[in-house]
């Protein structure tokens, strides 16, 4: 309750959810003693795959007994997920104290919610100067609050695609502009570029960072992976090859993100042993991203049928999810809720073989599109209907043996489902 009250106050510090500028975060961090200058950071920028890449890096570093701090957004279930220090989420009481301390120093100055959270993270992270910080960029990057570091160990560029277009002028809603916003201000250190969805995007990244003096690694040029058999895959880079266990998480895209994570850690030479990588991969956790729900209230409703939740919310995320689903021979029933600023028609067009589609309202999210309006936007899909909440949606389905239920469209919806379950 105390945390919620503080977060409510944070939300009132600026009339806009997002106001693209670095001035406010720089001013607050100056009052805090510029803590961002005192940390060792790996920055992660991109559209899709950031969290999965962070999860892989984090898991391997933990296995190697290297202490980490991690800053991500948005959270899935609770705000504490965004604040990991010494490999542990910060407890409610300690997080509240951190927020109150920074709030007092900010002295009611205008600052966005994300900016003050980022300042809180930097302030706490500076207390652990030897830890490795994994920092996920928020919107775009060029004017993102995380982009006030003067130096870092590396920047990982995950898959870049069109998303958050409503924050760009109509004539700038292009992949060229998004690549520029995400990569034009990267620091001179090391840049690791993950697999992109097209050669065009890779070439745009190459062009944008051409004058950057960093050492650069590109997927398929400097590191790669190939599928193996019997639960293994093969990773390859200039340091040699590795035969690695496929982690217990769903989706081929995970191997792309894991390969990027391994390339980053091997380049930075943290003295990580091959066994640390192998064991670390078996312990990766993925919350709200192609996550199978195996127990709980909602699982009881679907009985023996497989229940998957996935926070994909843009065209490329949907395409990746569909690629995984196409490997499965079963009927696929979808429950979808989305935010209002997404391209709903393009999102749903990526899915093939939809057995049934139910739209729902995303609870506790004023910026979500109503399930009824979403149903109208999905009018080209047969068997589409609306139910006001997840439980009613599940109960309305007639699932046969081996049918699968996929709940997707929003990370916020994924979080609500996990809380409900």
**What CATH number is associated with residue 101?**
3.40.1190.10
Q: In this structure, are 273 and 333 located in the same domain?
A: no
Q: In this structure, are 126 and 147 located in the same domain?
A: yes
Residue 158 included in any domain: yes
Residue 173 included in any domain: yes
Cis peptide before 74 (omega within 30 of 0): yes
Q: How far apart are the C-alpha atoms of 244 and 335, rounded to whole Å? A: 35
Residue 286 included in any domain: no
Q: In this structure, are 88 and 29 located in the same domain?
A: yes
Name residue, tokens 């995320």. 317
Q: Which stretches does DSSP call E strand in 39-99?
A: 40-45, 68-71, 84-85, 88-89
Q: In this structure, are 299 and 165 located in the same domain?
A: no
Lowest mean pLDDT among 59-73, 117-131, 158-172: 158-172
Residue 385 included in any domain: yes
Lowest mean pLDDT among 11-25, 202-216, 270-284, 350-364: 11-25
Q: In this structure, are 202 and 96 located in the same domain?
A: yes
CB of 354 closer than 8 Å to CB of 334 = yes
Q: In this structure, are 221 and 342 located in the same domain?
A: no
pTM: 0.91
Q: In this structure, are 196 and 178 located in the same domain?
A: yes
- Specify whether the backbone of 238 is left (phi greater than 0), alpha (psi in -120 to 50) or beta: alpha
When divided into structural domains, the chain yields a total of 2
CB of 367 closer than 8 Å to CB of 340 = yes
Average pLDDT value for the chain: 94
CB of 338 closer than 8 Å to CB of 368 = yes
CB of 409 closer than 8 Å to CB of 417 = no
Q: In this structure, are 205 and 340 located in the same domain?
A: no
How many residues in the chain?
A: 421
pLDDT at position 138, please? 86
Residue 104 included in any domain: yes
Q: How far apart are the C-alpha atoms of 306 and 291, rounded to whole Å? A: 11
Question: What's the rounded mean pLDDT across residues 16-29?
Answer: 90
Rg (the chain; Cα; Å): 21
Q: In this structure, are 344 and 277 located in the same domain?
A: no
pLDDT at position 56, please? 97
pLDDT at position 287, please? 87
Containing structural domain, residue 318 = 291-420
Q: In this structure, are 330 and 261 located in the same domain?
A: no
Among 237, 261, 281, give the residue marking a domain's end: 281
Q: How far apart are the C-alpha atoms of 362 and 393, rounded to whole Å? A: 12
Q: In this structure, are 25 and 49 located in the same domain?
A: yes
Residue 193: beta bridge partners?
157, 218
Q: Which helix (H) or strand (E) holds 4?
A: helix 2-11
Question: Is pLDDT above 90 for 285?
Answer: no
Q: How far apart are the C-alpha atoms of 357 and 381, rounded to whole Å? A: 8
Using CA atoms, how far residue 33 sits from 30, 124, 151, in Å, is 5, 12, 16
């Amino acid at each position: 309750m105390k945390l919620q009250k503080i977060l409510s106050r944070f939300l009132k510090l600026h009339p806009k959810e997002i106001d693209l500028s670095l001035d406010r975060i720089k001013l607050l961090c100056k009052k805090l003693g510029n803590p961002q200058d005192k940390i060792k950071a790996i920055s992660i920028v991109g559209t899709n795959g950031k969290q999965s890449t962070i999860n892989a890096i984090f898991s391997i570093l933990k296995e190697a007994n290297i202490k980490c701090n991690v800053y991500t957004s948005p959270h899935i279930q609770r705000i504490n997920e965004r604040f990991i220090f010494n490999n542990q989420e910060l407890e409610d009481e300690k997080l509240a104290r951190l927020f109150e301390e920074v709030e007092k120093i900010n002295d009611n100055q205008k600052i966005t919610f994300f900016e003050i959270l980022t300042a809180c993270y930097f302030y706490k992270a500076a207390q652990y100067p030897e830890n490795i910080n994994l920092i996920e960029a928020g919107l775009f990057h060029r004017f993102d609050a995380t982009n006030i570091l003067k130096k870092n160990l590396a920047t990982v560029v995950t898959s870049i695609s069109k998303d958050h277009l409503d924050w760009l002028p109509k004539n700038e809603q292009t992949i060229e502009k998004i690549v520029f916003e995400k990569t034009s201000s990267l620091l001179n250190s090391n840049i690791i570029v993950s697999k992109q969805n097209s050669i065009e995007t890779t070439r745009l990244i190459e062009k944008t960072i051409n004058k950057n003096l960093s050492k650069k690694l590109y997927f398929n040029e400097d590191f790669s992976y190939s599928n193996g058999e019997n639960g293994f895959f093969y990773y390859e880079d200039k340091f040699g090859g590795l035969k690695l266990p496929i982690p217990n998480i769903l989706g081929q895209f995970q191997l792309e993100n894991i390969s990027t994570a391994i390339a980053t850690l091997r380049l930075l030479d943290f003295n990580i042993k091959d066994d640390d990588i192998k064991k670390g991969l078996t312990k990766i956790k993925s919350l709200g991203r192609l996550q199978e729900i195996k127990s709980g209230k909602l699982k009881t409703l679907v009985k023996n049928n497989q229940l998957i939740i996935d926070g994909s919310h843009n065209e490329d995320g949907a395409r990746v999810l569909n690629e995984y689903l196409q490997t499965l021979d079963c009927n696929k029933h979808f429950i979808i809720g989305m935010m209002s600023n997404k391209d709903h028609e393009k999102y749903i067009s990526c899915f093939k073989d939809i057995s049934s589609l139910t739209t729902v309202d995303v609870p506790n999210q004023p910026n979500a599109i109503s399930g009824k309006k979403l149903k109208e936007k999905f009018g080209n899909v047969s068997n589409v209907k609306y139910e006001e909440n997840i439980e009613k949606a599940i109960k309305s389905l007639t699932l046969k043996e081996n049918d699968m239920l996929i709940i997707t469209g929003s990370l916020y919806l994924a979080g609500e489902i996990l809380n409900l379950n």
